[in-house]
Amino acid sequence: MTDGFLLKVYVAATILLMVGMALILVRLIAGPTLYDRALAVNSFGTKIVLFLCMFSLIIGRADGVDIAILYALMNFIATVAILKFFRYRALSEPMAPLPASAKFDALRERRRNERSR
Amino acid sequence: MAADKAHGTQSVGVDIPWDAVLDWGLALASSGLILSGVFFVLAGALGVLRMPDFFTRMHAAGMTDTLGAEFILFGLILQTGFSQMTLKLLLVAFFLFLTSPTATHAIANAALKSGLKPQLGTYKAPDLSQIEGSSNEADSDKAGGH
C-alpha cells in the first residue's frame, strides 16, 4: 500500500543525490588546489555510500549495504592516504614530526649512548 | 493495537484501520527524513560548488554531509523494520558519523599545514551579469556591483 509511495520517494531522492554528485564532480574537476579535490573525493564517496544504501532498498536486496559499509571505510582510509602521500611524498613516513624539545633530544642522546656501549 | 481497536469500536463506533495508519505514519516519517537529508546533501554540494574559498567549501561539505547522511540512513532504517539490514544500515551510519568529520578535519589540517591561507575580510560575490549576459545588469547596477 505504501510501497508505491515509498518507491517514488526513493527514486526522487536518488535522482537528487545524483544531482548533488554531479555538482561535487564539477568541483572535483575544477578545484584549484589539491585539498579541494581531496574534499570533493571524500564528499563524493559519502554520497556514493548513500546512493548504494538507497539503491539496495529500491531493488530490495541487502547486498548493496555490505558494499556501502566497505566503501565508507575505504573512503576514509583513501582520504587520509591521499593527504599523507601528498604531504610526505611517501606512505611510510610518520604522520607528525618527532617532538623537537630539549628533553626529548637529551633522552634520545642517552639512548644512543646506551646502545653504543 | 488490538486493545485500541476494540476500544475504538466500542466507544466511537468507527473502525479505524490502525495498521494502515501506522504504515502511512512510518512512510511519511521516513520520506520526510530522507527528503530533508537529500536537501542537506544538495545544499552541501551547492556550497562546495559556489563557496569562494577552500575553508568555506570544507565547512559546507563537512557539516551537511554528516547531517544529511544520518538523516537519509535513519529514514531508510525506519523502513527496514528489525532485520539484518537495519544492523548494516546502523553500521554505515555509525562509520559515517565517525569518519566524515574526522576526514574533514584531516583535510583542513593538511591544508593549513601546507600553508593554504583562508580568505579574510569582506567577500564580494562574482558578478553574474558578465556571465549570464544582460539579464541581471539592472540589478547589479543598483547594487553598485560593476
Question: pLDDT 10s per residue in chain B (146 long)?
Answer: 455 555 544 555 788 888 888 888 999 999 999 999 999 999 999 999 988 888 999 999 888 889 999 999 999 999 888 888 899 999 999 999 999 999 999 999 999 888 888 878 777 766 767 665 544 444 444 444 44
User: Contact A35/B107, CB-based, under 8 Å?
Assistant: yes
- Say how many domains are in chain A: 1
User: Contact A49/B85, CB-based, under 8 Å?
Assistant: no
Q: Which of residues 25-64 of A touch B (CB under 8 A)?
A: 26-27, 33, 35-36, 38-40, 42-43, 46-47, 49-50, 53-54, 57, 62
| Residue spans per domain, chain B | 2-115, 122-146
The number of angstroms, rounded, from the C-alpha of A59 to the middle of its chain's C-alpha atoms is 26
pLDDT at A40 over 90: yes
Which residues of A are less than 8 Å from B42 in CB distance? 16, 19-20, 23
In Å, what is the CA distance from A31 to each residue of A24, A34, A40, A60, B120?
A: 10, 7, 8, 37, 20
A78/B contact by beta carbon, under 8 A: no
The sign of the CA dihedral A58, A61, A65, A71 is: negative
Q: Which of residues 51-70 of B touch A (CB under 8 A)?
A: 54, 57-58, 61, 65, 68-69
Domain that holds residue A76: 3-116
Q: What is the pLDDT of residues A62-89, one digit of tens each?
A: 888 999 999 999 999 999 999 888 887 7
Q: What is the pLDDT of residues A23-36, one digit of tens each?
A: 999 999 987 888 99
Residues 6 or more apart from B98 whose CB is under 8 A from it?
none
A5/B contact by beta carbon, under 8 A: yes
Written as one string, the DSSP assignment of B10-30 is HHT-----HHHHHHHHHHHHH
Q: What single letter denotes the amino acid at residue A58? A: I
Residues 6 or more apart from B99 whose CB is under 8 A from it?
A72, A73, A75, A76
**CA atoms within a 13 Å half-sphere pointing along the CA-CB vector of B32:** 6
